[in-house]
Structure 1
């Protein structure tokens, strides 16, 4: 099993998602057996981008990204300090308030989970087919 951990603090900027995408892409490119095909890599990077965008926006400004590769799955987990679980809501088609991220992650992933921590905060994770 290949794992890595990336701790990052952000101030609700687009650079958080960009950094997470780059880090995830590098992680996926480093996997050898089996290698990740380009479509799976794109799907994984998109799921990470959505999860990391939501973490600082709704979770208090800090997050931890933990991608893990297994023989048949890739798990991307994002921790943040907010106890508030992501929720499905009607997307704003005018583009001013969002609402696309969590539904998109749910469509991309084989499964999603949200785990509350007894010390506060949560982990939102997505399992993607490798």
Structure 2
């Protein structure tokens, strides 16, 4: 009896790097995250792709608002995970604050990022700043 074995291999795409220093950079980062997930083989489910876009949007927005007005986003993928690493020039770690339910001044982003990610770390650098690594299951 002949049997044919089919193997699906995944080749991680080349990391995607995006830099920005204004509000236009937020939409650029979201588009880059969506394009990155579209190139993954095997493709992640739509929920994971949407979650990555949301996490990237929040991280980049926080970097622009609280991290010194400039960010570098690097997207990478392994066999089981996708990682968004956002660097900014401010060494201060994000801090949780109570969300503003009436005034619209925010406070939801860091809570959301922590809830949506599988693993979250903050490392020093590059330079004087910090990098937040947000990992999601693939």
Q: Distance in 2 between matches of 1:52 and 1:40?
A: 18
Counterpart of 1:100 in structure 2 is 108
Match of 1:114, SS state, is strand
The yes-or-no answer on 1:36 pairing with 2:36 is no
The yes-or-no answer on 1:9 pairing with 2:17 is no
Provide structure 2 residue ranges, at least 5 long, that are not aligned to the other structure: 1-11
Structure 1 runs (4+) greater than 4 angstroms displaced: none
Q: How many residue pairs get matched?
A: 127
The yes-or-no answer on 1:24 pairing with 2:37 is no
Q: Distance in 2 between matches of 1:118 and 1:22?
A: 24
Counterpart of 1:62 in structure 2 is 70
On the 8 A contact 1:5/1:64 being kept in 2, the answer is no
| Cα 1:90/1:3, change in 2 over 3 Å | farther
Query: Which of 113, 116, 124 pairs up with 1:116?
Result: 124
TM-score w.r.t. length of structure 2: 0.86
Counterpart of 2:3 in structure 1 is none
Q: Distance in 2 between matches of 1:69 and 1:118?
A: 21
Higher CA-based Rg: 2
1:46-94 Cα distance to aligned partner (Å, 9 max, x none): 1001001100101111110001111111111000000111111111112
